[in-house]
Amino acid sequence: MGGSVAMALRAQGWYVSGVDRVDAACRRGVELGAFDAIGPDPTADLTFVCTPVLSVAELALEALDHGGIVTDIGSVKAPIVSAVDHPRFIGGHPMAGSEQDGIEGSDPAMFQGRTWVLTPTSKTDSQAFATLYTVISAMGAQVVSVPPERHDELVAVVSHVPHLAASTLMGVAADGAEEHAALLRLAAGGFRDMTRIAAGHPAIWMDICSANRTAIVSVLDRYIEELSAVRSIVDTEDRPALLHRLERARAARLNLPVGAPPPADLVEFRIPIPDRPGFIAEISTLASELGVNIFDIEISHSMEGGGGVLVAIVSASFADLLRGGLVARGFRSSVTRLESK
Amino acid sequence: MGGSVAMALRAQGWYVSGVDRVDAACRRGVELGAFDAIGPDPTADLTFVCTPVLSVAELALEALDHGGIVTDIGSVKAPIVSAVDHPRFIGGHPMAGSEQDGIEGSDPAMFQGRTWVLTPTSKTDSQAFATLYTVISAMGAQVVSVPPERHDELVAVVSHVPHLAASTLMGVAADGAEEHAALLRLAAGGFRDMTRIAAGHPAIWMDICSANRTAIVSVLDRYIEELSAVRSIVDTEDRPALLHRLERARAARLNLPVGAPPPADLVEFRIPIPDRPGFIAEISTLASELGVNIFDIEISHSMEGGGGVLVAIVSASFADLLRGGLVARGFRSSVTRLESK
């Protein structure tokens, strides 16, 4: 992701020198227009350390020797911030980047509209923070400032523990299905949605689990405790308690903000997917033709198999227009207004 | 889903009489061509009980009085099969149907290529089973026969416990985020994929959790036990054990069969989604134009936000054709062969 950071900086007029353990990556970075030059620059005003979390602290301390502001983009913050412990170091974590990163995927617009977390402490130099804030905002990112420990707990909840939970669930299913492999076919869309992240490459998770050990263990404890409560609710057939939990979770899920900054009012279209090719193309082309901006689109498979439902989130002001277009083409759809937070 | 069963039966030439607590639903069924007539038919050769699981047994026993074969489509089998306990009753569960069911969504092709589980016991009349098997196969479904208890354990693993797990995870996240609502924005695509099923309507889960209590509690116990093992692996930084678990889950997830009966060899295309509208339309139109049948398509959001990746599963024999079309239009993609089971 360092390439994208470099491109976004150059787009603001910065002179950027790139450093990588692999020389070829640096040379490719120059070819692609990410770097002006190669090699460490002791006169740098600002250094972004874009390496795996376990090596950030050491490289940040080296860079701080030269006098500029130093930040990083690691997905765990507290261990790094406390190891570096310097007024000119501010931990950072852009919530952007795709699974296929690497210098070839560099994109100066990667941070447009994304959240970029910064984790200043009481020791942080306020001028350094103000400078970094301005630079990152100019990349189009929305800066959110939280203490490093709070950041780590939040990513444990929304990223690290979900990965471990999905992976573990997939493991339980694989165990149970070995004797009857064909029956994993019973695992319809809902299960597939839920375990999709378990297909990710395991490598980065080793470092993340080490670096964010404390927060992950604490969130896993909470998750296990809540699951044990659910287990006893099911066992005792306590229907009111179960209903309360399911409804609370449903409300929270429906209110989950979508990736892009949403307008105040959004509606969710649910359109059953017919069993023929070209449907997604048809709907997305229709929306384009009508000038309806789709904030988010996803395929929701039914838990029980079947064709699934296309879910599209659009601004409430376009709801009637899109509904009309769908009816004209013979599609059934249901429309639900999402409560704004 | 009764409407779809009725339509699929009529397509085979059966005379179908429909019964529903709501008269209007029956009349609409006749209008839509699902039913020839309305009302109980004491001369029926075959009765499908298509009601919520908790009322199946009583209605099945009534229908058995008349002498025909009786089956059901409930998502839990052991309690029903043991409550009815009759040679002419065979429990069934079609793995099909969408979230927007009801008589309006009836579709005679709903079961084409889907798995339909039947749960005969040692008591089952073999002629009754053979007849039901033939009828359901003629609907285009693939019949899988398993003992009722085994069915219930499998759906607990691939459907019921995942729902409870997603819902519970969403609850943990909602608790943690209340004090800092804007930060649920950190919850990027991976989390959204994983908790999507928690947005489903809670109503049906009350009955399912009652009916399949034993299997759900036993699978929850296994899941909690495995999560506790992961917790201690993370806590002790046992990297080899963590890597082993993540890799095993990844392999199992990549081998998860897709909904439709797949050809022997499939490849997975992963295409980074650019930040502009119309992309999904473009790719799906391209595939249609090239005559490439997409077995499955899904959007995989990166855990860290960002544009996400479009994942398309196609037959290996079309891989070069599709890759060529993508290159010609300037799209990068990675192609992975999926191991066939």
Task: State whether residue A267 is helix, strand or coil.
Answer: strand
- Span A202-234, pLDDT tens digits: 877 888 899 999 999 999 999 999 999 999 999
Residues in B closer than 8 angstroms to A222, CB to CB, are: 172
Instruction: Name which of B197, B231, B300 is nearest A194 (Cβ-Cβ).
Output: B197
What is the pairing mode between strands A89-94 and A334-338?
Answer: unpaired
Average pLDDT over chain A reads 83
Burial B305-316 (b: 16+ CB within 10 A, else e): bbbbbbbbbbbe
Res. B340: pLDDT tops 50: no
Res. A178: pLDDT tops 60: no
pTM score: 0.71
**C-alpha to C-alpha distance for B31 and B42, rounded to whole angstroms:** 23
Res. A292: pLDDT tops 70: yes
Question: Nearest Cα to B227, choosing from A161, A242, A202?
Answer: A161
Residue to test with chain A: of B172, B208, B254, B285, most A Cβ within 10 A: B172
Task: State whether residue A115 is helix, strand or coil.
Answer: strand
Q: What is the structure's pLDDT at B24?
A: 87
Segment among A84-93, A95-104, A109-118, B103-112 with least mean pLDDT: A95-104
For residue B341, the tally of other CB atoms under 10 A from its CB is 12
Q: What is the structure's pLDDT at A341?
A: 35
Res. B259: pLDDT tops 50: no
Check A115 against B186: CB less than 8 A apart. Answer: yes
Q: What is the structure's pLDDT at A263?
A: 47
pLDDT band at residue B262 under the 50/70/90 scheme: very low
Residue to test with chain A: of B256, B275, B326, B332, most A Cβ within 10 A: B256
pLDDT band at residue B42 under the 50/70/90 scheme: very high
- Max avg pLDDT among A234-243, A325-334, B188-197: A234-243
The C-alpha of A311 sits at a distance from chain B's nearest C-alpha, in angstroms, of: 11
pLDDT band at residue B258 under the 50/70/90 scheme: low
Residues in B closer than 8 angstroms to A188, CB to CB, are: 95, 158-159, 259
Residues in B closer than 8 angstroms to A174, CB to CB, are: 248-249, 252
End-to-end CA distance of chain B: 31
Q: What is the structure's pLDDT at B100?
A: 45
Side chain identity at B73, as an amino acid letter? I
Check B221 against A242: CB less than 8 A apart. Answer: no
Residue to test with chain A: of B32, B53, B169, B207, most A Cβ within 10 A: B169
Q: What is the structure's pLDDT at A259?
A: 47
**C-alpha to C-alpha distance for A140 and A173, rounded to whole angstroms:** 42
Check A288 against B298: CB less than 8 A apart. Answer: no
Q: What is the structure's pLDDT at B281?
A: 67
Segment among A181-195, B31-45, B242-256, B279-293 with least mean pLDDT: A181-195
Q: What is the structure's pLDDT at A99?
A: 43
- Max avg pLDDT among A250-264, A275-289, B292-306: A275-289
Check B181 against A341: CB less than 8 A apart. Answer: yes
Rounded to an integer, the average pLDDT of A294-309 is: 60
Residues 6+ apart with CB under 8 A from A324: none
Q: What is the structure's pLDDT at B21?
A: 85
Res. A309: pLDDT tops 80: no
Check A170 against B252: CB less than 8 A apart. Answer: yes
Res. B11: pLDDT tops 90: yes
Q: What is the structure's pLDDT at B147?
A: 86
Check B216 against A199: CB less than 8 A apart. Answer: no
Between A116 and A114, name the one with better pLDDT: A116
Check B248 against A219: CB less than 8 A apart. Answer: no
Give residue for tokens 């913050």.
A77
Chain B residue nearest residue A341, CA to CA: B181
Chain B residue nearest residue A253, CA to CA: B199
Question: Which residues on neighbouring strands pair with residue B269, listed in sequence order?
Answer: B312, B335
Residues in B closer than 8 angstroms to A275, CB to CB, are: 109, 112
Residues in B closer than 8 angstroms to A236, CB to CB, are: none
Rounded to an integer, the average pLDDT of A103-121 is: 85
Structure tokens at B318: 């079309």
Residues in A closer than 8 angstroms to B226, CB to CB, are: 168, 171-172
Rounded to an integer, the average pLDDT of B91-110 is: 77
Residues in B closer than 8 angstroms to A280, CB to CB, are: 280-281, 284, 297
Res. A297: pLDDT tops 70: no
Segment among A70-79, B117-126, B195-204 with least mean pLDDT: B195-204
Instruction: Name which of B169, B205, B257 is nearest A162 (Cβ-Cβ).
Output: B169
pLDDT band at residue A302 under the 50/70/90 scheme: low
Rounded to an integer, the average pLDDT of B32-53 is: 93
Rounded to an integer, the average pLDDT of A164-176 is: 87
pLDDT band at residue B99 under the 50/70/90 scheme: very low
Instruction: Name which of A185, A277, A294 is nearest B288 (Cβ-Cβ).
Output: A277
Segment among A28-37, B156-165, B201-210 with least mean pLDDT: B201-210
Residues in A closer than 8 angstroms to B198, CB to CB, are: 246, 249-250, 252-253
Between B78 and B98, name the one with better pLDDT: B78
Between B293 and A95, name the one with better pLDDT: A95
Res. B185: pLDDT tops 50: yes
Instruction: Name which of B105, B209, B250 is nearest A272 (Cβ-Cβ).
Output: B105
- Span B189-205, pLDDT tens digits: 678 778 878 877 787 78
Between A76 and A263, name the one with better pLDDT: A76
**C-alpha to C-alpha distance for B310 and B76, rounded to whole angstroms:** 34
Check A242 against B100: CB less than 8 A apart. Answer: no
Residues in A closer than 8 angstroms to B186, CB to CB, are: 95, 115, 117, 154-155, 158-159
H helix or E strand, kind and range, residue B115: strand B115-119
**C-alpha to C-alpha distance for B16 and B59, rounded to whole angstroms:** 17
Distance of CA B223 to the CA centre of its chain: 20
- Span A16-58, pLDDT tens digits: 999 988 888 889 999 999 999 999 999 999 999 998 888 999 9
Residues in B closer than 8 angstroms to A204, CB to CB, are: none
H helix or E strand, kind and range, residue B267: strand B266-272
Q: What is the structure's pLDDT at B98?
A: 52
Chain A residue nearest residue B108, CA to CA: A275
Q: What is the structure's pLDDT at B297?
A: 64
